Structures are given as structure tokens and as C-alpha cells.
């Protein structure tokens, strides 16, 4: 047994070594608001995206799953701006996802438009619909707003299911052409190309969204989330900014829908049902509402989770639901919130008092 006196002496020696080696200053020498510190999550994401296809040895299936992660991330980033920053709930974003996919696909198949042009038109069309829906709907609050957006999503789902007179097939739309870069077609046979293309877009959207959150518009979003009455008293145009963030999130969803359509070459209306909207909202909450990096983390986890649970198909839904329940109970701020708390706790434990 080691005596308490020896333990105290060992503790004093350890503290002295920390001071002499200046470890504390080395660990915490970078201020929290330093530009380098803020770029660490972006650096980690880019490093992960570079290493992933190498580690997977170009496995097409796994690259395809990560491409799906990127497509989902576009929608979830928009939802995070809407929910986490502006405090507005939407259970109908699968509708905007479907509108973007079907609009771009139909223009491409029926009118022979280039995927690039059809994507732009689909985004504009979705933005107009989002504006028309958003102006009256965003006057509602709380669960009334959630129910209104849920109703919109269900209307879109029913409409898409009745478009067989345009798709020429009751199951969906076939024969959608892929994006092409010169002589290279970004179809399912070129999984690495799709992966790179999608994640370049996602990184650009992340940078754009981070700039928005740090701008005057982003501060207005947070003010609305905190208190609409206080924000209005400070001169914030509540209705204007609510509609703006709603339309912006719909644009992100439409872009994701177009990418989904032209990558898969086929779209079916069951993809855009209520369950998809709920899954997207769950990604926001699990990752961390109010954090764009939380959106990415939640999307990666919940897109891959069904793949990991596929080995136990009989109980995968039970385990999936149990994991989500545990996250909601023990991590109300999401994974990013818990991770931030853990880092702060470690810093407190590592900090060495300046006085004996």
C-alpha cells in the first residue's frame, strides 16, 4: 500500500513538472476565438473525406452511402438553420426534397434539358413554392407550425404519387440522365466521382451557411429564436427573416433532391414520405440543434446506423429506436453539445493551479 504522504509528494512533483514544462500554456495557448481554432472542425471533416475512399479501397457501396450522407447533409444543414438558429419547426422538408427531385428529373426526361439547367430551374421553382407556403404558415408557432408543415409534406407526397401521367410509370420516374463533366458522366458506375462532386458542394454550402450565421442575418435568426417579442422590439423584421430562412432551407433541400435524382437515375414517390421528414429532423436533434457541425455529425451517424444494424435485421428497428431514445434523454444538446461539455471538463481537469 502506498502511504498518503507519498501520494501527496507524487502529486506535488507532478504539478512542478507541469509548471516547468509549461504544459498548461502549450495546451491552452490558442484562444477559443482564434481563427485557427474555428477552422479545426473543417480541417477534420476534409481530412476524413480524403482518407475515407482510400481506407475503403474504392468500395462502390460504401462510397455510395457516403454520397447519400452528403445529400442528406444538404437538407439537414438547411433544417438546422431553420430550427436550430431561427427556432422554426418543419416536418415537411421531404416535400421540398421531392419537389426538387421530380422537377429536375421531369425537365430532364420529358423536355431533354441538361441536368445543370434542370437543377437550377428546380431550385427556383422550389423557392417560389416555399415562399408561397412560408408567408402564411410562418405566422403560426410551436406545434401549430409543425402540423402545418406536416400537412404540406403530405400534400406533396400525394401529388407526387399521382404523377404517373407525367412519369409514364406508376412506380416513379425512370431514365434520368446523370450530370456530366465534359466526357465524364457522374452515374452510379463512377461512385468516386459522385462522392467528390457531392462533398465539394456540401463543403461550399457549409462555408456559405457559416458565413450566414456570423452575419447580421444570422444574429437576427438567433434573436428570433431567443424571443420574437424582444427581437421585434430591437427592430428585427420577424416575418421577413422567418420567410428568408424557410426559403433558404427549401433551396438546400431542392438542391439535394436534384442531386439524388441525377445520381440514381430513378426516383419514386415513397422516398419522400413523412418518415423521411422525421428522420431529417432527428438528424438535426441528435447531432445538435444550433450547430452546423452537429448537422454533419448527426447525418453521418443516422445514415450509417441502419447499415451497421443490418447484421441483426430482426432487431435493427428496436435498437435504432433505443439508441435515439438514449441520445434524447442523456444528450438533450445533441452529440456536439455533449462533446463540447466533455472537452470543457477535460480542460478543467488538466488546468494546473498557479499557486501552491
Name the 3-class secondary structure at 227.
coil
Phi, psi angle pair for 184, to nearest 5°: -105, 125
pLDDT classification of 34: cutoffs 50, 70, 90:
low
Could you report the per-residue pLDDT of 232-252, keeping only the tens digit for each? 888 899 999 999 999 999 999
Percent of residues, the chain, with pLDDT higher than 70: 85
Beta-carbon contacts of residue 155 (< 8 Å; ≥ 6 apart): 95
pLDDT, greater one: 75 or 170: 75
Give mean pLDDT, residues 281-287. Answer: 89
pLDDT, greater one: 337 or 95: 95
Per the CB < 8 A criterion, the answer to whether 88 and 138 are in contact is yes
Residue 218 is predicted with a pLDDT of 92
Average pLDDT, the chain: 85
In terms of residues, how long is the chain? Answer: 356
Beta-carbon contacts of residue 46 (< 8 Å; ≥ 6 apart): 203
Residue 26 is predicted with a pLDDT of 41
Residue 102 is predicted with a pLDDT of 96
C-alpha to C-alpha distances, 19 to 5, 16, 338, 352, nearest whole angstrom: 21, 5, 30, 8
Residue 29 is predicted with a pLDDT of 44
Q: How far apart are CA 175 and CA 106, in angstroms?
A: 10
Beta-carbon contacts of residue 279 (< 8 Å; ≥ 6 apart): 302
Q: How far apart are CA 252 and CA 346, in angstroms?
A: 37
Residue 65 is predicted with a pLDDT of 93
Could you report the per-residue pLDDT of 123-140, keeping only the tens digit for each? 999 999 999 999 999 999
Per the CB < 8 A criterion, the answer to whether 257 and 101 are in contact is yes
Residue 5 is predicted with a pLDDT of 59
CA-nearest of 64, 126, 65, 134 to 101 is 126
Residue 30 is predicted with a pLDDT of 44
Could you report the per-residue pLDDT of 311-342, keeping only the tens digit for each? 666 676 677 778 778 877 888 788 887 777 77
Residue 8 is predicted with a pLDDT of 58
Residue 48 is predicted with a pLDDT of 93
Give mean pLDDT, residues 111-115. Answer: 93
pLDDT, greater one: 121 or 329: 121
pLDDT classification of 170: cutoffs 50, 70, 90:
confident
Beta-carbon contacts of residue 218 (< 8 Å; ≥ 6 apart): 85, 212
CA-nearest of 153, 129, 146, 126 to 83 is 146
Q: How far apart are CA 72 and CA 299, in angstroms?
A: 7
Could you report the per-residue pLDDT of 285-310, keeping only the tens digit for each? 888 888 899 899 999 998 988 887 77
Residue 27 is predicted with a pLDDT of 43
Per the CB < 8 A criterion, the answer to whether 268 and 86 are in contact is no
pLDDT classification of 185: cutoffs 50, 70, 90:
confident
Give mean pLDDT, residues 63-69. Answer: 93
For CA atoms 323, 283, 134, 101, give the dihedral sign: negative
Q: Name the least confident of 37-46, 196-205, 232-241, 262-271.
A: 37-46
pLDDT at 164 > cutoff 70: yes
DSSP 8-state assignment for residue 270: G
Amino acid at each position: 500500500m502506498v502511504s498518503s504522504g507519498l501520494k501527496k509528494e507524487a502529486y506535488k512533483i507532478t504539478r512542478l513538472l507541469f509548471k516547468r514544462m509549461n504544459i498548461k500554456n502549450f495546451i491552452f495557448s490558442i484562444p477559443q476565438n482564434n481563427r485557427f481554432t474555428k477552422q479545426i472542425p473543417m480541417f477534420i471533416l476534409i481530412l476524413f473525406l480524403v482518407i475515407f475512399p482510400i481506407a475503403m479501397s474504392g468500395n462502390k457501396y460504401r462510397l455510395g452511402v457516403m454520397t447519400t450522407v452528403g445529400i442528406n447533409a444538404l437538407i439537414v444543414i438547411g433544417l438546422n438553420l431553420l430550427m436550430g438558429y431561427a427556432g422554426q419547426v418543419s416536418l415537411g422538408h421531404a416535400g421540398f426534397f421531392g419537389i426538387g427531385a421530380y422537377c429536375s428529373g421531369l425537365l430532364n426526361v420529358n423536355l431533354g434539358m441538361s441536368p445543370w439547367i434542370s437543377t437550377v430551374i428546380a431550385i427556383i421553382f422550389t423557392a417560389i413554392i416555399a415562399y408561397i407556403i412560408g408567408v402564411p404558415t410562418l405566422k403560426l408557432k410551436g406545434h401549430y407550425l409543425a402540423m402545418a408543415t406536416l400537412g404540406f409534406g403530405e400534400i406533396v407526397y400525394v401529388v407526387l404519387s399521382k404523377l404517373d401521367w407525367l412519369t409514364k410509370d406508376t412506380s416513379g420516374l425512370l431514365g434520368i440522365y446523370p450530370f456530366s463533366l465534359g466526357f465524364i458522366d457522374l452515374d452510379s458506375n463512377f461512385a468516386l466521382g459522385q462522392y467528390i462532386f457531392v462533398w465539394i458542394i456540401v463543403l461550399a454550402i457549409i462555408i456559405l451557411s457559416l458565413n450566414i450565421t456570423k452575419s447580421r442575418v444570422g444574429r437576427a435568426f438567433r434573436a428570433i429564436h431567443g424571443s420574437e417579442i424582444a427581437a421585434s422590439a430591437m427592430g428585427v423584421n420577424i416575418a421577413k427573416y422567418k420567410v428568408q430562412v424557410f426559403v433558404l432551407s427549401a433551396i438546400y433541400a431542392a438542391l439535394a433532391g436534384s442531386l439524388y435524382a441525377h445520381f440514381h437515375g430513378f426516383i419514386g414517390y415513397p422516398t419522400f414520405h413523412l418518415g423521411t421528414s422525421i428522420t431529417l429532423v432527428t438528424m438535426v436533434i441528435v447531432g445538435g440543434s444550433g450547430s452546423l457541425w452537429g448537422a454533419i455529425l448527426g447525418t453521418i451517424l443516422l445514415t450509417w446506423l441502419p447499415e451497421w444494424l443490418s447484421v441483426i435485421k430482426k432487431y435493427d428497428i428496436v435498437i435504432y429506436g433505443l439508441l435515439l431514445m438514449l441520445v434524447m434523454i442523456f444528450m438533450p444538446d445533441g452529440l456536439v453539445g455533449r462533446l463540447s461539455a466533455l472537452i470543457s471538463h477535460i480542460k478543467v481537469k488538466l488546468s494546473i493551479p498557479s499557486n501552491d
